[in-house]
Structures are given as C-alpha cells and as structure tokens.
Structure 1
C-alpha cells in the first residue's frame, strides 16, 4: 500500500508511485482522478482511497452527481420526446432513455413508462462530449431489477454521494442490521438517491431517517441505533 492512501488531496495535485497490477502493469482510476499521459491528476478535493489490487479513487463529500458509464442510478421521467424519455438524474443535464432499452421491448410492445415515474437504470453513455444515455438492461439484455419502480408506493429521498458509497460498501452493517426483524424494499442509486418501501409509512420514514443519520457513524454506533429502532418496529406492528 502506498503512503498516499488516506491523504487529503486538492484539485490539480498530482499523485505518483501508485501500485500497479502485477499482471497488466496498469492502474484503474475512479471518480476524482484523471490521467494525462503518464500523470495522475486529482480533479476534486477529498481523500485518496484504494482497493486491491490496483483501483484508486477520491472519496469526496459532494451532492452534485457527475454521470459515470456503468453506474446504476435512480431517475425521474420528466418528459417523452418521440421514441425517448427524458430523465432527471440529478446531474447538470438530463439523460435520455429509449423505449427499446427495456427487457422485451419492441416497437409493438412498448414499456409502460409515464412522466413522473421513478426508473432504476444504468448509464450506457456518459462523457463530457455526448448526452448521457440510460438503459434498463444489463449486458445480456435482462432487466436485472432495473426499470420502473415505486409507482404509487414508496418514498425517494436524496443524500450525499459519500453516504451512498458507504452503505453500498461490503463492510457496512447498516442495511443488514436494519433488516433484522424488519422487512422493507430498498433501491440505491449512485447519484445520491434512495427509494424505500416499508410495511407502513412510519416504518418507511424510520428507515429513511436511520440511513441519513448513519453517514458519520461507525459500526458500533450503527448497531446501537438499529437496536433501538428494532423495538420501535415491533411496537408499530
């Protein structure tokens, strides 16, 4: 592990001597970093993080989402223009979603998508020179849980991108602990949006508040909070 990991960097800083893959001799860079020739440059402020064997990114507290190809997001359909839908994903511009970008969709069998619907989708195209494009299928053409969700039920709220990365990390105990003795549906988008549907309105609000409160908690604090909430869930029943 290089000494740079865990260090705070500012935009414009350069990073050297990162660990490369033994097989390919390459480095994989994520959000907050960009490569110019042989130089790795920091593009946003934050802490340098590392995942074995050769993946690096900047852990930054931010709410403004920048689309990244392959990331799954929660969007809101704002309009229909011809054969595509316009989707608000919280970025600087809206993304497009073709009606053919759903599993089993054809010209005769169009998906049931309405303005105002929440869609769970992934970015097929996301770069500074092209309009962002979403699809509701994986590489094999299957929905894999993507598509329209939460019509007439559930609750969607927005949180920081840092919290999203935290609750999706393998080491986070929040969702697993909240699920002990309490049933709820949850969909998490990398753009800082979370959709929840609990057994009741009270359960849904409690889960949403627990997720929001967990951003700066450690594992023990999260477990203690979930333990207190477990009693409340039982009372509600």
Structure 2
C-alpha cells in the first residue's frame, strides 16, 4: 500500500513548519500496524526549498522521496522528525553506533572474535580498551562478556567493535558480568528499557537494588544482592514484555508481597 502525501508550498518556508507538516502527514498512521511493502511518498512540488528530511529508524528505509516499510509492526514517532517501526523482532542486525553485549568466542593474535547475536561475529582489537598498549594488554578470556559499540557495521564488511569512546575513555564499556545473569529479550523491549525515564526500569527499582546492562542486540544482564533476587528481576523483565502498565504494576506488587 502506498500513502501519497503532497506538502503545500507554504509548508516549506521554515524548518518548524516542515516538521509540523511531517507530523500531520503521519499522524493518521502513528500507532497503527504497518506491513512490509507499505510506503510513504512525499511530494514537495516545484520549489527551491530544501527537500524534506526524514530520519528513518528500525523498520523503515529511505529511497529518494519515498519511505519504505521493511518490517511489520507499529509506527512510532519521536520529535522532531524520527520515525520507526516498533516490532517484536528478535533477530539482530548490527548498526554503526549501537552498543551491544557480546560474548568473546576466540582469541586470535591481536583480535578477539565476539558473538553479538548477528549473522556473523564481530572483531574486537586488544587496543580497543582503555589504557591498552602493546605491552599492557587487557585481560580478556574466551567466554567473557563485553559491552562495546560498533564502529563498523554494514553488509559489505565484517562488524567491528570498540570499548572506548572518541576520547579514549571506557565510559562504562569493557569486560563485565561477574556473578550476574544474561538472558535474551525482544528488540522492542530493549528499546523500552533504554528509553529515557523508562517506566519498566522505574517499577523494577521499587522492588530492590540491582545492576542492569542492556544491549541493543536484545541481550540483558542483571545482578542483584542474591541469586533469588537476580532470578526475580530476570523473570519479571521477560514476563512484562506484552503487559500494559497497570498489569505490570499489579504483577510487581504481588511479587513484593510474596517476597517480603
């Protein structure tokens, strides 16, 4: 199905009016289920103004003046001009700039091979750690969990990870995971957990203190004071994926009443 949108010339005068026009174009579809093959066409008419800029997130692909839907799910919107498809996909496709949880599988010379849940393993240099030099190598073993960021991720090259930012700082990345539990959830739940002021995380924090690491590849690591509390947090995260806010809060209250 094709949704053709013709923007009036008056909408291309300023950036604010363009963004308002974008929102009005999609407002009838935001929150609805779209299927692969659906597309939106933006006709700007004959004007010297800059073309409409649309930032396409997961599930959407820009092709000239058209936006193609390549995943089934619910169309979501974030100001000022970001759109994506919220789906329950579990298969991860690496993307540059995303932070993920990986498992070291091979040590080969100066390169570590890391399983990130994609179609192929990513490479991680021993120099991609804070303070690492040729003489001072990081203590990374096969089976360790690493939290890193993609610096190369496209269909024509092998994915490459790093555990330092542009300033050479770890900034929370590196080897971790001692004593915790890692499990896998859908990519839709991952985005909800990573959202600013996540309601799911806030409700969990009211139970008991715990550590939480979330990767964009659908892997989640948790650690609480005891093994029992760690398992409770993991089970709650897995069970609340398809619950409403009221259902989730009711479940958390029952858990608190039984645990304490």
- Common fold, TM-score beyond 0.5? yes
Trace 1:33-48 onto structure 2 (pairs within 5 A). Answer: 33-48=60-75
- TM-score, normalised to structure 1, is 0.90
Distance apart, 1:12 and its partner CA: 2.4
Are residues 82 and 24 of structure 1, via their aligned partners in 2, closer, same or farther at CA, if it must alter by over 3 Å?
farther
Question: Contact 2:124–2:160 at 8 Å: present in 1 too?
Answer: yes
From 124, 131, 152, the counterpart of 2:151? 124
What's the RMSD between the two structures over aligned residues?
2.0
Flag structure 2 segments of 5+ consecutive residues without an equivalent.
1-22, 44-48
Question: CA offsets per residue over residues 113-138 of structure 1, 9 Å max, x none?
Answer: 10000111111111111111111112
CA distance in 1, matches of 2:258, 2:202: 17
Are residues 103 and 219 of structure 1, via their aligned partners in 2, closer, same or farther at CA, if it must alter by over 3 Å?
same
SS at match of 2:104: strand
Question: CA offsets per residue over residues 38-76 of structure 1, 9 Å max, x none?
Answer: 221112222211100000111111111000111111110
Off by >4 Å, runs of 4+ in structure 1: 22-25
Which structure has the greater CA radius of gyration? 2
Distance apart, 1:171 and its partner CA: 5.3
Question: Contact 2:42–2:65 at 8 Å: present in 1 too?
Answer: no
Question: Contact 2:94–2:154 at 8 Å: present in 1 too?
Answer: yes
- TM-score, normalised to structure 2, is 0.83
Aligned residues: 230
Question: Contact 1:187–1:195 at 8 Å: present in 2 too?
Answer: yes
SS at match of 2:123: strand
Question: What residue in structure 2 maps to residue 173 of structure 1?
Answer: 199
Which stretch of structure 1 is more off in the superposition, 87-96 or 23-32?
23-32
